[in-house]
Amino acid sequence: MSKRPLNVLQILPNLNVGGVERGTVQMTAALVARGHKAFVVSGNGTLVKEIKQAGGKHLSLKVGQKSPLTLFLIPKLVRLFMKHNINIVHSRSRLPAWLTMAALKLMPKDRRPVWFTTIHGPYSVSLYSSVMNRGDQVIAVSNFIKDYVYDHYSIPKNKKITVIHRGVEENEYKTTFMPADSWVRNWKNLTNYPSEAKILTLPGRITRWKGQLDFIKLVHQVRSHGIDAYGLIVGGIENKYSNYYKELTRLIEILDLGNSIRFLGTRKDLKEILSISDCAYSLTSKPEAFGRTTVEALSLGTPVIGYDHGGTSEILKTMYARGLVPPHDLDKAVALTKALLANTSGFAHIKSNPYTVSQMQDKTIALYEKVKTRHK
């Protein structure tokens, strides 16, 4: 068990904005705050500045580039691990994990860092993906992911996968949050909804598995019961999903919902939108690894109705079990929505949020400090 300062290196393809990348910044800040040294290897990105502001050191290598030339990075990683006396290397993606494993095999055993991997999603079952199961210490972001790995790979029974959930910033996502008056004024001007309108929100980029088709049908059915409900779809639209987007707009036209559903695109004010929503949804066709927006909404006091699978199921069972419905059971989702909108005390049944950034930081660093490193 380590009580001395550690040299911890996290490695991932890039540091552009995303959940894995944001978690890397958060872990860097926590490591430095506790007296450890934090290094990050990536192919650069917009969050490099935040790594440095947190007190970490960024080392630029294109470890996410799928090219034969990437193999030449392996000896560079060996030299880097040796130069900075790295005790722990934490791979957060598959290609960087393969490079890490190759580099470790080239090092003297007494100089090899302890190798951590974090499995962030239900990767395709393949030899390529299996590298994430090979770390000395393997972390999964939910029990669903842990079970997925055990179900699809032959992992030794004595190999433990540790579940450390991702988290949201507890100081930012709380039931007392209120949007600024200026935001409320701008929002009213943008939407022009009646004051008694019920706001239903589906966060997530425009892709079939995020469940926008089910959401549109749900809004239509809720409105057919005489409820003045309006649907918000918050998420970016990539060119490769343009045909799917057209399918969504056609359905909206067929159901005569042109004035009742809005596509808001990518927004920086999702927190504000979730906070003024009467209900948020997670209607993914396939299980999500975790479900950050579900935690965000519940932490703000907004009820969530979600399909009972994956990380969403895990979160709702812990924080708001009454929000669970069987996957693709729109009738039950509609019935639950009606009941929720008729009873404004629904938020009172939301339990406190255990999925915080601080718990993620605490549990990860505790695991770092617990392992017996191979060298000083």
| pLDDT tens, position by position, 50-97 | 999 999 999 999 999 999 999 999 999 999 999 999 999 999 999 999
Task: Express each pLDDT in 142-155 by its tens digit.
Answer: 999 999 999 999 88
The per-residue pLDDT for 292 is 93
100-109, 150-159, 232-241: least confidently modelled range? 150-159
Domain co-membership, 238 together with 293: yes
Q: Are 140 and 116 in contact (CB under 8 A)?
A: no
Residue 177 has pLDDT above 70, yes or no: yes
Task: Express each pLDDT in 328-365 by its tens digit.
Answer: 999 999 999 999 999 865 556 899 999 999 999 999 99
The per-residue pLDDT for 1 is 45
The per-residue pLDDT for 346 is 57
Range of the domain at 141: 7-167+357-370
Burial of 39 (0-12, 13-18, 19+ CB in 10 A): buried
Percent of the chain scored above 90 by pLDDT?
90
Question: What is the pLDDT averaged over residues 275-293?
Answer: 96
Helix boundaries (H) for the chain: 19-33, 48-53, 73-83, 94-105, 127-130, 143-152, 181-191, 212-224, 242-254, 270-276, 292-299, 310-319, 330-342, 357-370
Does a structural domain hold residue 176?
Answer: no
The per-residue pLDDT for 238 is 85
Q: What is the torsional sign of CA 103, 16, 200, 180? A: positive
Domain co-membership, 163 together with 213: no
Does a structural domain hold residue 2?
Answer: no
Domain co-membership, 135 together with 185: no
Which amino acid, residue 22? R
The per-residue pLDDT for 375 is 58
Q: How many domains does the chain have?
A: 2
Does a structural domain hold residue 376?
Answer: no
Does a structural domain hold residue 175?
Answer: no
Does a structural domain hold residue 361?
Answer: yes
The span from the CA of 286 to the CA of 217, in Å, is 18
Task: Express each pLDDT in 300-335 by its tens digit.
Answer: 999 999 999 999 999 999 999 999 999 999 999 999
Q: What are phi and psi of 213, to 5 degrees?
A: -60, -45
Q: What are phi and psi of 264, to 5 degrees?
A: -95, -10
- CATH number, domain of 14, equals 3.40.50.2000
The per-residue pLDDT for 136 is 95
Stated pTM of the model: 0.91
Tokens coding 93: 């993606």
Domain co-membership, 50 together with 122: yes
The per-residue pLDDT for 371 is 87
Residue 47 has pLDDT above 90, yes or no: yes
Residue 200: helix, strand or coil by DSSP?
strand
Mean pLDDT of the chain: 94
Instruction: Decide the pairing of beta strands 37-42 and 7-11.
Output: parallel
Residue 2 has pLDDT above 80, yes or no: no
Give residue 156's pLDDT band: very low, low, confident or very high (50, 70, 90): confident
Residue 41 has pLDDT above 80, yes or no: yes
**CA 149 from centre of chain:** 18
Does a structural domain hold residue 174?
Answer: no
Does a structural domain hold residue 95?
Answer: yes
Domain co-membership, 132 together with 210: no
Domain co-membership, 345 together with 364: no
Residue 23 has pLDDT above 90, yes or no: yes
Does a structural domain hold residue 375?
Answer: no
The span from the CA of 358 to the CA of 30, in Å, is 9
Domain co-membership, 270 together with 311: yes
Domain co-membership, 281 together with 336: yes
The per-residue pLDDT for 260 is 96
Domain co-membership, 319 together with 222: yes
Question: What is the pLDDT averaged over residues 30-39?
Answer: 97
Domain co-membership, 132 together with 204: no
